Structure 1
Amino acid sequence: MTESQARRAYIGSFTAAGGRGVVVAALHPDTGALTPLAATDAVADPSYLALAPDTGTLYAVSETSDGAVAAFRVSGDALEPLGAPVPVQGDAPTHLALHGGHLLAANYGSGSVTSVPVRADGSLAPLPTGVLAHQGAGPHPQRQQSPHAHQVQPDPSGRWAVSVDLGTDSVRVCALGEDGLTLHREIALRPGSGPRHLAFHPRGDLAYVLNELAPTVTACAWDAADGALKPLAETSVLPGAPAGDAYPSAVVVAPDGRFLWAATRGEDVVSVFALDADGTARLTATVPCGGRWPRDLAVHPSGRFLYAANEHSGDVTWFTVDPDTGLPRRGGSVDVPAASCVVFG
């Protein structure tokens, strides 16, 4: 996607907390400012979204106890449901991604990943082809009694699907077949770290895992040929001890690979890292996220703008990124009750 093409933002939110569902917003190409245009609450708690530019289809999870995924046809500035929501046969899906002709959903509550076929017109098959159940636990007495799959995405080569599990302190590398995902390799991270999200470096041989329970980021080497992730170093996302609760939520890498940004709830900051060629992530600054409880971060395809979806204050704040330092400078914000994620199209 080029900068000129990214003129719309799609914002997920929690309808159970007063959100409007999926919000469509215009994106100003010079300032990064957002202007809400329309919304749909056709799906409950669409907390995470994924866009397929080739079919003009937007996909959403329904983060409920009887979790589901749904497809919407993007029609101008409106979203039209494309068939009925499809049950994921899992509890509380928190993330989804397109991979190999399927929509994959990470189910936090049940600790599993669901594969749903995507039809040629962008609509979803009525049933999943498979559900891969994670196994294991971690040392945290409340948060790690069972698996909690928090994110799933394809690797840059398109060969593998990678799922991040907070409950088992591990990252799973999977292959996609006719019957869904099969486990290729499981990579253990530090016990009790609670990995939540992973972002690949655009170079394709590095990945960064954000740990919710630590709070840290783990730099890793990625071998696409072998489907192997190797932890290299773990770095705090904060310059000192947290003043109170600190729960990292989202991590993104700049399109040019020079910077990494991580959001931390509780502290309500965005951390800025400079990335070295060997994969080292050096914390250079933290800035206020512009609201409370930043659940998601998104970087514009141009790399010029950064967005924080602040769930508890109910807004999306945009920042202009300094091209030399990666430092985000607050540009403004727009009210989006119970905001949870931002994607571009």
Structure 2
Amino acid sequence: MDNNNSIIRGYIGTYTHGKSKGIYTFIFDLNSGAIQDIALGAELQNPTYTVIDNENKYLYSVIKSPEEKDLESNGVAAFAINSDNGRLSLINFETLIGKSPCHVSLDKNSKYLFSANYHEGTVAIFPITDEGSIAIPTEVVKHTGSGPNKERQEAPHVHFTALSPDERFLLAVDLGTDRIEAYDFNFQSGKLQHNPSLSISLPGGSGPRHLAFHPNGRYIYVLTELSCEIVLLEYDSNKYSINALQTISALPENFKGENTGAAIRITPDGRFLYASNRGDNSLAAFSINQENGELTLIGFYSTLGDGPRDFNIDPTGKFIIAANEKSSSVVVYSIDQENGSLKTISDPIEVPNPVSVEFLHLIEEE
């Protein structure tokens, strides 16, 4: 966080098959929603997804190579964040044999980095040292199985991992098998134990991609990539149960083209949920019933570009930045605090091949 508490720094992960050189950083005005001072934060290949520790000291990134034989470029990387200018200094990276991961996440105290590997169908656990560097993995779990969509579900495709809010379990979203696999996680050993009672199958061919936990910890919202739906699940860690409560389309009723669901986010107050559509090129907005978690459609909002692969909500819950990968732009929306509707407050802002957006965390000054 900058000294001026009305602005915050953000980072944009990208594909570098176009003009992009790596991870970009920017300044974001928390009052106006203006993006300023977009600059290259670190140069590296295909840092599509990033995650930042809660103290804003370190950023962790997927690293990829367009040439899969170049195995040394495939893995995860750790960077130190320069608090003055936002530049990133490489600390180290760790690689695994095979194609590279697609998503990374952290536990609350940044002791472990969790990676999801779409191509390999694996989940990997990397310990993090006190100096922020990444150690060799303590565990790599490979999924098995397939789904009915022969083109997209011929094998497991782990697209997302995250710890449950109580950090007792790691949930791995597998597009290829239409399943969410749950694992007991041991913080001492860094090992996973599959928990079949908490794992759940989703409808065949739906292709789950990402999920978001409600701030109350009771509800999980899963966005499916192939069927373009949001599935509401009720989570009960004491009973070892996850139960489906609702399924709702993330697309307009009259949409006829090809579309894939991409990202899903919930506002910090837990009142509104948003999902991105690649094809319709829109953000779908929903209100969340605070009594039962059910979703009600608010509307659909154009991303003014092509291929909104991911987006994020700023820490105050007032703005959204959407990343149009194919048209190389980001767009800013304001969130109506009463009804959750969106209003575009910027023209498309040029950023080469953007994929994901991360903000530094708001840290209260003592």
SS in 2 for 1:290: coil
**TM-superposed deviation, 1:264:** 0.3
SS in 1 for 2:149: coil
Question: 1:62-90 CA deviation, whole Å, 9 max, x = no partner?
Answer: 13444210011001224343433210445
**Are 1:262 and 2:269 matched, yes or no?**
no
SS in 1 for 2:17: helix
In structure 2, the residue matched to 1:68 is: 75
In structure 2, the residue matched to 1:344 is: 359
In structure 2, the residue matched to 1:165 is: 174
Which of 240, 261, 275 matches 2:253? Answer: 240
Which of 145, 149, 153 matches 1:144? Answer: 153
Matched residues in 2 for 1:303 and 1:123: separation? Answer: 31
Q: 1:134 to 1:6 in 2, by over 3 A?
A: farther
Which of 110, 126, 133 matches 1:116? Answer: 126
In structure 1, the residue matched to 2:114 is: 104
Matched residues in 1 for 2:42 and 2:350: separation? Answer: 17
Q: How does 1:105-254 map to 2 (within 5 A)?
A: 105-125=115-135, 127-177=136-186, 178-185=189-196, 186-254=199-267
Which of 304, 323, 326 matches 2:340? Answer: 326
Which of 85, 88, 110 matches 1:77? Answer: 85
Aligned residues of 1:38 and 1:77 also touching (Cα < 8 A): no
For 1:184, the aligned partner's letter is: N
Matched residues in 2 for 1:148 and 1:310: separation? Answer: 23
In structure 2, the residue matched to 1:304 is: 318
In structure 1, the residue matched to 2:364 is: none
Identical-residue share of aligned pairs (%): 33
For 2:329, the aligned partner's letter is: D
Question: 1:156-192 CA deviation, whole Å, 9 max, x = no partner?
Answer: 1122211111000011111223253222232100110
Aligned residues of 1:38 and 1:78 also touching (Cα < 8 A): no
Aligned residues of 1:90 and 1:112 also touching (Cα < 8 A): no
What value does the CA root-mean-square deviation take over the aligned residues? 1.9
> What is the total number of aligned residue pairs between the two structures?
344
**TM-superposed deviation, 1:55:** 5.6
For 1:273, the aligned partner's letter is: F
For 1:223, the aligned partner's letter is: D
Q: How does 1:33-52 map to 2 (within 5 A)?
A: 33-52=34-53
Moved more, 84-93 or 113-122: 84-93
Q: 1:25 to 1:288 in 2, by over 3 A?
A: same
Q: 1:55 to 1:311 in 2, by over 3 A?
A: closer
Q: 1:201 to 1:62 in 2, by over 3 A?
A: same
SS in 1 for 2:113: strand
For 1:221, the aligned partner's letter is: E
Matched residues in 1 for 2:274 and 2:139: separation? Answer: 34
Question: 1:212-236 CA deviation, whole Å, 9 max, x = no partner?
Answer: 1001100110113344321112110
TM-score by length of 2: 0.89
In structure 1, the gaps of 5 or more residues are none
Q: 1:37 to 1:271 in 2, by over 3 A?
A: closer
TM-score by length of 1: 0.94
SS in 1 for 2:299: strand
Point out which structure has higher relative CO (alpha carbons under 8 A, 6+ apart).
1
**TM-superposed deviation, 1:40:** 4.1
Matched residues in 2 for 1:134 and 1:6: separation? Answer: 42
Q: 1:221 to 1:44 in 2, by over 3 A?
A: same
SS in 1 for 2:195: strand
